[in-house]
Each structure stands twice: as structure tokens, then as C-alpha cells.
């Protein structure tokens, strides 16, 4: 699969086959991901790969914590969003809801508990950043995430970036023995997509370039 095809075909996967992803394949992906650019080549990203029973243990802990704390997925905005952004989010919810109804799931529960379970993916990847870095280095981590989802796509794997887990950082650090000086930034669900599941039958659209781009000639 070439780069353009990977970009065009990628979507967030929310139902996975139980087939495990081999450590060798994950290593191939990561060896390509770390070729991503970063400020003065600091390569600040750190990856924690969780598989098998350890991934199940982590998921159980996160779901339990979610049910106790009820911290939900949100865009994390600090001010009210402009209508343009709000309409995009609402359109995505409206697109997803009928598909989830086929599975007997209510939207909020599916998204929140699904995020805490990495949507049943056999592998979870946790990205961390040493807190000695400034928050500006989150840009580098974001570039790494972009590389990750596209490289995984090129190998026939599916991904879903999971932002909610950041709210349960303490639980993740406890289960995975992550040092206090490492900040949990984001997670990625990784596995073989179950394309027969209604959870994967939609693909959210993108606005045209006029919504994002200003030109100065």
C-alpha cells in the first residue's frame, strides 16, 4: 500500500478481530514511526506497548475507574467552540449513532467504555512524554502519532487514537509502573479491523479546503 492509499483509506477503527498482532510487526511499525521529524532531533516520544493479559488487565482497570469517576470523552476546549467546530462534532455523532444502535449500544457508553477498553484491540500503545520537556514537544508526539496510524494502515492494521485515557493517567501509571516524571499523552488501539462490524461501517467526512486554508499569493 502506498502512502496516498494509506491516507485515503485510513479511518478510526472501533471493532477489532481477536487475532493478536505479533511483536515483530509492532517493532517494524515503530522502527518506521521513529523516523518522524522532531525539534532538533530530540525524539521525545516514548512508547509503551501493552499486549495479551497485560492489555486486558489495563482495560479492566480503566473501565472500573471510568464507571467510578465518569470522566467522559470531550474535545477538551477551554472556551466555547465556534459553530463551525461544534457542527463537525455533532455531524460525526449523528453519523455514528445509527450504526452503534445496530449493536445495541448507546453512543456515550460505547465511546467512553470503548475508549477505556481500546475498543477490544489486542494491542494498546501508550505514548508518554518526559515532563522535563515543555508542552511544545507535544507537537512532536503528535507527528509521531500521525506516522503511527499511517504506517499501521500500510501493514493492513487498524488504529484508533484514544485521548480519554489521559484522564486516567494515575491508573495507567499504577498498572504499567510508569515513573512519575513521564506524562501519559495519548493511546492508540492497534489490531486487525473487523470490517463486518457496524462500528466500522461509517467514515467521518472532512470539510473542503476553504474551511481550513487561507492563501496569500
Q: Each residue of 27-60: pLDDT tens digit?
A: 999 999 999 999 999 999 999 999 999 999 999 9
Domains of the chain: 3-70+81-201 (3.40.109.10)
Q: How far is CA 8 from CA 5, 48, 68, 150, in A?
A: 5, 28, 39, 10
Helix, strand or coil, per DSSP, at residue 129: strand
pLDDT value, residue 90 = 87
pLDDT value, residue 173 = 97
Cα–Cα distance, 22 to 36 (Å, whole number): 23
Cα–Cα distance, 123 to 188 (Å, whole number): 8
Lowest mean pLDDT among 73-82, 88-97, 148-157, 183-192: 73-82
Cell of 77: 476546549
Lowest mean pLDDT among 74-83, 87-96, 138-147, 150-159: 74-83
Of 18, 3, 26, 5, the closest CA to residue 188 belongs to 26
pLDDT value, residue 77 = 60
Mean pLDDT of all residues in 51-72: 94
The beta strands (E) that lie in the chain are given as 45-51, 123-130, 158-162, 182-191
Per the listing, cell 492494521 goes with 157
- Split at pLDDT 50, 70, 90, the class of 81 is confident
Burial of 179 (0-12, 13-18, 19+ CB in 10 A): exposed
- Split at pLDDT 50, 70, 90, the class of 135 is very high
pTM summary value: 0.94
- Split at pLDDT 50, 70, 90, the class of 75 is low
Cα–Cα distance, 33 to 214 (Å, whole number): 30
Cα–Cα distance, 164 to 158 (Å, whole number): 19
What own/partner pairs with CB < 8 Å and gap ≥ 24 does 173-179 have?
174/61, 175/57, 175/58, 175/61, 176/48, 176/50, 176/54, 176/58, 176/126, 178/48, 178/126, 178/128
pLDDT in tens, 84-105: 888 888 889 899 999 999 999 9
pLDDT in tens, 181-194: 999 999 999 999 99
Mean pLDDT of all residues in 150-159: 98
pLDDT value, residue 216 = 96
pLDDT value, residue 157 = 98
Cα–Cα distance, 45 to 9 (Å, whole number): 26
pLDDT value, residue 85 = 85
- Split at pLDDT 50, 70, 90, the class of 76 is low
Amino acid at each position: 500500500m502506498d502512502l496516498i492509499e494509506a491516507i485515503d483509506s485510513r479511518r478510526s477503527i472501533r471493532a477489532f478481530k481477536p487475532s493478536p498482532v505479533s511483536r515483530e510487526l509492532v517493532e517494524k511499525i515503530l522502527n518506521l514511526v521513529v523516523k518522524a521529524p522532531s525539534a532538533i532531533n530530540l525524539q521525545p516520544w516514548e512508547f509503551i506497548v501493552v499486549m495479551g493479559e497485560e492489555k486486558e488487565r489495563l482495560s479492566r482497570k480503566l473501565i472500573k475507574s471510568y464507571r467510578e469517576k465518569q470522566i467522559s470523552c470531550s474535545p477538551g476546549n477551554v472556551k466555547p467552540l465556534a459553530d463551525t467546530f461544534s457542527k463537525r462534532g455533532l455531524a460525526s455523532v449523528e453519523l455514528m449513532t445509527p450504526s452503534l444502535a445496530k449493536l445495541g449500544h448507546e453512543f456515550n457508553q460505547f465511546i467512553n467504555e470503548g475508549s477505556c477498553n481500546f475498543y477490544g484491540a489486542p494491542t494498546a500503545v501508550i505514548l508518554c512524554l518526559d515532563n522535563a520537556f515543555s508542552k511544545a514537544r507535544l507537537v512532536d508526539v503528535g507527528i509521531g502519532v500521525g506516522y503511527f496510524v499511517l504506517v499501521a494502515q500500510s501493514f493492513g492494521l487498524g488504529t484508533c487514537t484514544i485521548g480519554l485515557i489521559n484522564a486516567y493517567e494515575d491508573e495507567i501509571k499504577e498498572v504499567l509502573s510508569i515513573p512519575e516524571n513521564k506524562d501519559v499523552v495519548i493511546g492508540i488501539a492497534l489490531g486487525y479491523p473487523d470490517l463486518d462490524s457496524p462500528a466500522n461501517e461509517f467514515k467521518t467526512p472532512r470539510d473542503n479546503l476553504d474551511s481550513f486554508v487561507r492563501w496569500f499569493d
